[in-house]
């Protein structure tokens, strides 16, 4: 490539999962940010039904993504001018310098898409397949946390086979944590499938909800009165890690930050933290970087924490594919750290461009 040629970036959004809508919301921010940094951008999408589309007209697809409650489906994709459905779309990606997968959730952001592109020798912006797979599975990443001595809430993992073989004994295992407990799918994002169980009679319904999204589920200790924080790490093209500011989420309604609460801004508020003791800030930031290194994630990572009433800092989960729209917490913590949105996106792209293709 000569100095006058633009780097070509393929942006992939949508997804055949419950986070399709959130993925679409990112598109309207990420594409203009890439264009502002002089990248040549083309947009591709995966519908809820699993079809792959290419979109020739950027303005058209962004206008649709700006629409209220827009999801990428086979029907909505065909309404967009310049859309083209193809079963042989993958060969088009080979000509790009990198692919930016904006697909959130399972399946897709669990390493499958990254692995697909790595197999073709295509650079992926954000985490590679190994890091994505580790971070997407709460039961796997908690084993890793324990191995490297990262504090995390007490929990019990119930595999699908174990539940189908003997549900009653597994209810007893979960109840060993003492109520109330959180029940969640092992592979779920944005609070999908999460329930708070306060009495034994609600356990069955909570498990049924979690198992809609993943046969394997987790029961986790609930910490009443705990504060909820997020912190992020961003790797530059020289493999240096930068840690963001810390953001706190406060609920004005409900007990847990599940999907229902997350999709209604009136039920929660978020702000950059300024009242934490220096030692707690240090623990959160050092642990964020430790999680990033331990999980083999590349590019960037968002980590969620609980600060209990007793002062314990616990890692709730790590997200290798956070929502990166301007209105999201990931963008907010970097803006508070002094990094403009366009620079955040640019840094992620350049890290991927200069990283060897495949798992690192």
Three-state secondary structure string covering 279-331: HHHHHHHHHHHHHHHHCCCCCEEEEEEEECCCCCEEEEEEECCCCCCCCCHHH
Torsion angles phi and psi, residue 251, rounded to 5: -90, 135
What CATH number does domain 135-151+225-353 carry, 3.20.20.140, 3.30.470.20, 3.40.50.720, 1.10.150.120? 3.30.470.20
- 92-131 pLDDT, tens per residue? 888 899 999 999 988 888 889 999 999 889 999 999 898 8
Note the pLDDT of residue 260.
74
State which fold the 8-104 domain adopts.
Rossmann fold (3.40.50)
Q: What is the pLDDT of residue 61?
A: 93
Q: What are the phi and psi torsion angles at 155 (to 5°)? A: -155, 165
233, 319 in Cβ contact below 8 A? no
122, 304, 353, 356 from 93: Cα distances, Å: 7, 33, 15, 17
Q: How far is CA 19 from the centre of its chain?
A: 10
Burial of 132: CB neighbours in 10 Å, binned 0-12, 13-18, 19+ = buried
pLDDT tens readout for residues 177-216:
888 998 998 887 777 888 888 888 888 888 888 888 888 8
Q: What is the pLDDT of residue 87?
A: 65
How far apart (Å, rounded) are the C-alpha atoms in residues 115 and 122?
Answer: 10
CB 352 within 8 Å of CB 98? yes
CB-neighbour burial class of residue 11 (10 A; exposed 0-12, middle 13-18, buried 19+): buried
135-151+225-353 matches 155-221 in fold:
no
Place of tokens 């055949």: 16
155-221: CATH, from 3.30.300.30, 3.40.30.10, 1.20.1260.10, 3.30.1490.20 = 3.30.1490.20
**What confidence tier does 51 reach under pLDDT thresholds 50, 70, 90?**
very high
Mean pLDDT of 75-98: 86
SS (H, E, C) 201-220: HHHHHHHHHHHCCCCCEEEE
The Cα–Cα gap between 202 and 256 comes to: 16
- CA angle, residues 187, 104, 259, in degrees to nearest 5: 65
Q: Which among 29, 13, 8 is positioned nearest to 77, based on CA atoms?
A: 13
Give 339's strand partners: none
- Note the pTM of the prediction, 2 decimals: 0.88
Listed residue (63, 28, 57) closest to 42, CA to CA: 57
CA-to-CA separations, 301 to 9, 93, 271, 344, 345, in angstroms, rounded:
21, 25, 19, 12, 13
Locate the domains of the chain by residue range.
Answer: 8-104, 135-151+225-353, 155-221
- The Cα–Cα gap between 14 and 133 comes to 19
CA distance 250 to 256: 10
> Residue 172: which pLDDT band, with cuts at 50, 70 and 90?
confident
Averaged confidence pLDDT in the chain: 89
Residue pLDDT, tens place only, 261-285: 777 788 889 999 999 999 999 999 9
């Amino acid at each position: 490539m000569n100095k006058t040629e633009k780097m070509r970036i393929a942006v992939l959004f949508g997804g055949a999962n419950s986070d399709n809508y959130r993925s679409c919301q990112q598109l309207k921010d990420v594409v203009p940010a890439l264009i502002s940094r002089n990248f040549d951008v083309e947009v591709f999408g995966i519908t809820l039904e699993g079809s792959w589309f290419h979109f020739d007209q950027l303005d058209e697809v962004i206008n649709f993504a700006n629409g209220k409650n827009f999801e990428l489906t086979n029907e909505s994709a065909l309404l967009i001018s310049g859309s083209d459905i193809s079963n042989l779309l993958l060969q088009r990606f080979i000509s790009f310098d990198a692919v930016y997968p904006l697909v959130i959730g399972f399946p897709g952001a669990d390493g499958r898409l990254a692995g697909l592109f790595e197999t073709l020798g295509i650079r992926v912006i954000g985490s590679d397949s190994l890091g994505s797979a580790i971070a997407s599975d709460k039961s796997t990443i908690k084993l890793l946390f324990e191995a490297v001595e990262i504090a995390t809430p007490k929990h019990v993992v119930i595999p699908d086979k174990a539940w189908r073989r003997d549900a009653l004994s597994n209810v007893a295992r979960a109840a060993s944590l003492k109520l109330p407990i959180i029940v969640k799918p092992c592979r779920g994002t944005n609070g999908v499938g999460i329930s708070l169980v306060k009495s034994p009679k609600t356990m069955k319904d909570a498990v049924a909800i979690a198992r809609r999204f993943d046969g394997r589920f987790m029961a986790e200790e609930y910490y009443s009165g705990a504060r909820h924080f997020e912190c992020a790490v961003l790797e530059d093209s020289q493999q240096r890690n930068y840690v963001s500011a810390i953001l706190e989420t406060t609920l004005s309604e409900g007990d847990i930050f599940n999907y229902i609460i997350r999709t209604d801004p009136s039920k929660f508020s978020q702000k950059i933290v300024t009242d934490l003791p220096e030692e707690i800030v240090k623990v959160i930031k050092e642990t964020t970087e430790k999680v990033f290194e331990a999980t083999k994630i590349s590019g960037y990572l968002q980590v969620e924490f609980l600060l209990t009433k007793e002062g314990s800092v616990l890692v709730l989960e790590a997200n290798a594919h956070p929502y990166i729209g301007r209105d999201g917490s990931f963008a907010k913590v970097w803006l508070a750290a002094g990094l403009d949105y366009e620079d955040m996106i640019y840094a992620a792209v350049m890290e991927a461009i200069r990283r060897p293709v495949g798992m690192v």
